[in-house]
Every structure is written in C-alpha cells, then in structure tokens.
Chains A and B, each alone.
Chain A
Amino acid sequence: MASYNTSEFKKGLKVQLDGDPYIMIECNFVKPGKGQALYKCKLRNLLRGTVLDRTYKSGDSIEAAEIEEIQAQFLYRQADHFVFMDNESYEQYELTAEQVDDAWKYLKESMLCSIILHNGQPISMTPPNHVVLKVEYCEPGAKGNTATNVTKPCKVDTGAEFPCPAFINMGDLIKIDTRTGAYIERVKE
C-alpha cells in the first residue's frame, strides 16, 4: 500500500485514516531549533466533511488513499439518484443527492463531469466550470436595460434559479460559473 512520508506532506494530499479517505487542508511545520520536528495537520473527511486535527513527527507516514478521478457523462436522474457513465469504460455510477449536493443545479443530459472514486466507489462529483443553461421562466426583459447590476431570478431547464440581469428573456441561453453560481453572459448557442 502506498504511503506518504512527512517530507511529502502538503495541502491537497489525499490520505486514508481508519478506512476513510481524507484530504489534507492544512499542514503546519513546527520545530524547536534543536528539537523534534512536528507536522500539525488538518484533514477533511471526504465522505463526511468532518475535520480532524492530527500531529505527526518527522519521519512518520500516512497511507495514501486509493483515489481516482474519472470523466463521466450525466445520463439521468432517478428519484434520489444521479446516474453517470464513464466515458471510457462505459461503466455506470450512481451518486446520491447528498454526494451531488448543489451541483444538481447544473446537470443536463450528457454533460461531462469529473467524478472522484475511492476504492472504485464514487464519493463526489464536479461539473464543468462553465455550463450553458436555457431560461425557462423569468419576468419579461426590460428592453434597453443593459445594466448588469440589477438582477432578477431566472428559472432554467434544470429546475434551478439563478439571478440574471434584467435584459434576459425566456428562451435565452445563459452561461453560469458553477464554482460560484454566478451569471457570466448571454450566449447564442
């Protein structure tokens, strides 16, 4: 089993503790000039989101998590599950609503997403940074008002609502940043 020595510790490292995968979100090196070096780490559980404090001595090691990232397209939603298909192996993966979290707002059929697998099981997914969605309902557009600082809620084809500028109309295609949920621009195609 692969493992990481303290000299390899850094933010973003994916490790395994008591069978659960964790990501190192902080690693602070402390050492008295003539004394024992310590690595004070914060680790977030990738399944539960809980955060652990752990201190390691120089030379200690942690087991590496069997983490793999795949590209998969979104197929469909079935009740509380979201079904994706690995683009290379055609294998299908089911993620729970909890694992998909807020990303459901962006999911359209055949959208290519990245899925994190732990020991071959999906644990989380990330949509592309930018998605194009179709506005299905909003208050009528204010003609000539090109201001972007005044917003109104627009319901899109995934069922989610995003604040958009006043000039947006029903049927418009809008580009959204999935990392922030912010409107970027109106697009043609």
Chain B
Amino acid sequence: MRDEKPPSNFRPTASWENLALRAELLRKVRAFFDGRGFLEVETPILSADTVVDRHLDPFVLSPLPANLRSVPGEGPGVRAEQGSCTPQPLTASPHPNPLPKGEGTLFLQTSPEFAMKRLLAAGGSAIYQVAKVFRQGEFGPLHNPEFTMVEWYRVGDSMAEGIQLTSDLCEALLSRGPADRVSYRQVFERHVGVDPLTAEAAELQAAAARWNLEVPEGLGDDRDGWLDLLLVERVQPRLGLGRPTIVYDYPASQAALSRVRPENPPVAERFELYVDGIELANGYHELVDAAELRRRNREVNARRRADGKIALPEHSRLLAAMDFGLPPCTGVALGFDRVVMVAAGAKSLAEVIAFPFDRA
C-alpha cells in the first residue's frame, strides 16, 4: 500500500499547529501519571518475545546471515538490501512460512505489554510508558504501521478501577467529561439487535443481512469474525459521539490477555475507550494464570495457521514471570496518535503524524 511515486516530497503531512498540540498532549500524559505516583519506564522495542494475537502481525527481523557479515569490498548499500533490516513478509499461504530458524529472530513490539508485566512481576506497582510500536499491514486513515502507544499498569486495580483511571485520563486530555460505561452486550443489543455472547454465527450473519452490510466471503462459522464486522459497521461509529464511551465485558472468545469472569455466559474483563466513534484505548483486568496463557497461545497459533499466517513464539519470558507470580493488576494501552487526531478535530492520522508510513 506504499506510494509508488518517487520519494520527492520531504515535507511533513502534519501542520506545525498539530505537532505543537501533540507535544502539549504528551506533556499532559506525563503530568497525569507522574501526579498519581506512576513510574515512567522504558522497555525493549526489539525483542525475542512478541504478543501472540490472532490479528496482530509483528515485523519480524532475522539475523544477518553469517556470510553477509563482512564481505570485503561490498558497500553498506548491498548489505542494507540483503541484511537484517528487511522485515520478513508475513504472507498468507497454504503452508505458512516457518519463522526464520535459529537464534536471534527478533520482533518489533506490537505493544510493550510483555516487558511491562515482567517489571510488575519483579516488584513494579504502578508503571507507564510512552512507546513506539509496530504492526505490519495496518495502514489507513486510522492506522499507521508505526505508532505511539501510551501503556500503563497498576497492581491491585480491578476492571472498574482501571475504567475509572482511563476515564480520568481521557478527561484530562480531551475535556469531554467522564466516560459513559456500557457493556459489550448492551451496545450490541442497542445497535445490532443480537446478544453477542450467545448468538450463533448464523444469527450474526442474519443480523448483518438485516442491516444490509456488505459481507466479506468466507466468514463461515467464525463467530468472532461476524462480531468484528458488526462492531465495525454498526457499533463503533455510534460510540462516544457525545461523551466518551467505555465498553466493557467482552465475549470470552475475545479475552486476548484479560481475565475471564466465570459467569453464565462467561465474559472477558476487557474494556475499550471510544471517542467520536474511534477506538482510543484497550484495557484488561490482566490474566495472571500462566497455564491459561499457555493454553491460549496454542489456540491462537492454531487459528493463525488456519488463517494462513505464521505461528508466533509460544514460549516467552512473560510466561517465566507469570510462573514466578504476576500480581493482580489492570493495564491499558492508548493509541496516542488517535488521541491527538481527535483533539485536533482531524480526520486522518496523517494530519497529526509528521511523517506517516508512505512518507517515512
């Protein structure tokens, strides 16, 4: 999706006014957390571990082949082309590419989640980070493959406390009042007219037809695929139009790294913040059970393989930290660029990022 024109335009796509707003909001983020006793931390962006998620594709970096490390007489240009800085394409194929073999395969982080949880297991209590993160293949008005994430964790927080802190931060940054709270089930009943926790795939498909949605082929009996389609088309555009909205209690099948509350039906203690129909943040009452994470990693990789994607490493230092003991906590990731966009009244991230991906 990159622009094919010669790279002649060096100028930023964002105005100086928006870049100044960006800097101001970043100061406010730090003041908010510093004032509440959070410690700002930095963790690796480049790591041997990566979040194992069905729909997140990291940029994969493989080690420089030994025979390319020191070729006499070859300029750096040659090595840059063949060397380790070229992300491996994650292509869909019937036989997914295995990850590059051997020591040294690294991932640009899709969020600093794993390393920050390791800090919590090692004694951290309230920490935050402003990090550059990377997600392959995500590029559009609301996506840039490289973006800025504000992520924070506080030990002892329940989901409700995590939601309150998120609402407070949103108010401090955007001044749109405290967030309305509404469950995933309620927003689907209101805007789609189905129960997202119990409906079969066929019912969700019928709902999509009732709302005349243009449907991709091959969703089949993938309940979460149908829910995502209905969410994007019917629900998200109607969230956070007046006051910010925080949606909580997600389907257990979309728990990701959150804890599942064993009700009937069970729900994931996961929440998301919306303003002007745009998703700004995603939070979890964190899963602390290492055995459960191992099970989810296996399940996610099975789905990734079925989707034609490469499997991601199931073993990580996060699991070692969870085996040691991750204290109960709530953590949230906020897409900082989108916050700036909403604050500026902009329609696209390019208006608030100096050099977006097609001009990077």
For window 271-285 of B, CB contacts with A under 8 Å fall at 272, 279, 282
Q: Is the CB of B55 within 8 A of A57?
A: no
A-B interface contact total, Cβ < 8 Å: 79
Instruction: Tell me, rounded to whole Å, the shortest Cβ–Cβ distance linking A132 to chain B.
Output: 30
Interface residues of B toward A: which range? 35 or more
Q: Is the CB of A7 within 8 A of B256?
A: no
Q: Is the CB of B216 within 8 A of A55?
A: yes
Q: Is the CB of B231 within 8 A of A9?
A: no
Name the A residues within 8 Å of B216 (CB-CB).
Answer: 38, 55-57, 60
Stretch touching chain B among A24-32, A81-89, A148-156:
A24-32
| B236 touches A (CB below 8 Å) | yes
Q: Is the CB of A29 within 8 A of B139?
A: yes
| A5 touches B (CB below 8 Å) | yes
Stretch touching chain A among B11-19, B66-74, B222-230, B315-323:
B222-230
Name the A residues within 8 Å of B55 (CB-CB).
Answer: 31, 34-37, 58
| A59 touches B (CB below 8 Å) | yes
Among A8, A34, A40, A57, point to the contact of B53 (Cβ < 8 A).
A34
Instruction: Tell me, rounded to whole Å, the shortest Cβ–Cβ distance linking B175 to chain A.
Output: 24
| B35 touches A (CB below 8 Å) | no
| B214 touches A (CB below 8 Å) | yes
Name the B residues within 8 Å of A30 (CB-CB).
Answer: 140, 142, 232
Q: Is the CB of A35 within 8 A of B143?
A: no
Contact flags A42-68 to B (C-beta < 8 A → 1, else 0): 000000000001111111100000000
Q: Is the CB of B228 within 8 A of A36?
A: yes
Q: Is the CB of B214 within 8 A of A55?
A: yes
Among A9, A33, A36, A59, point to the contact of B1 (Cβ < 8 A).
A9
For window 207-225 of B, CB contacts with A under 8 Å fall at 213-219, 224-225
Cα–Cα, bound, A56→B142 (Å): 18
Cα–Cα, bound, A57→B222 (Å): 12
Contact flags B187-200 to A (C-beta < 8 A → 1, else 0): 00000000000000
Q: Is the CB of B231 within 8 A of A29?
A: no
| A10 touches B (CB below 8 Å) | yes
For window 128-187 of A, CB contacts with B under 8 Å fall at none
Contact flags B223-258 to A (C-beta < 8 A → 1, else 0): 011011101100010000000000000000010100
Q: Is the CB of A10 within 8 A of B1?
A: yes
Q: Is the CB of A36 within 8 A of B229?
A: yes
With contact pairs A37-B55, A57-B218 given, residues A29 and B256 touching in the complex (Cβ less than 8 Å): no
Q: Is the CB of B137 within 8 A of A34?
A: no
Q: Is the CB of A29 within 8 A of B143?
A: yes
| B98 touches A (CB below 8 Å) | no
Q: Is the CB of B282 within 8 A of A38?
A: no
Chain B residue nearest to A5 in the complex (CB): B92
Cα–Cα, bound, A35→B282 (Å): 12
Instruction: Tell me, rounded to whole Å, the shortest Cβ–Cβ distance linking A57 to chain B.
Output: 5
Cα–Cα, bound, A30→B279 (Å): 11
Contact flags B49-74 to A (C-beta < 8 A → 1, else 0): 00001011000000000000000000
| B308 touches A (CB below 8 Å) | yes
Cα–Cα, bound, A23→B261 (Å): 48
Chain B residue nearest to A33 in the complex (CB): B282
Chain A residue nearest to B272 in the complex (CB): A33
Name the A residues within 8 Å of B309 (CB-CB).
Answer: 59
CB-CB nearest 6 A-B residue pairs? A29-B140, A35-B228, A59-B92, A36-B228, A57-B216, A55-B216
Beyond A33-B335, A34-B254, list 6 extra A-B contacts (CB 8 Å). Answer: A5-B92, A35-B227, A36-B55, A55-B214, A57-B218, A58-B137
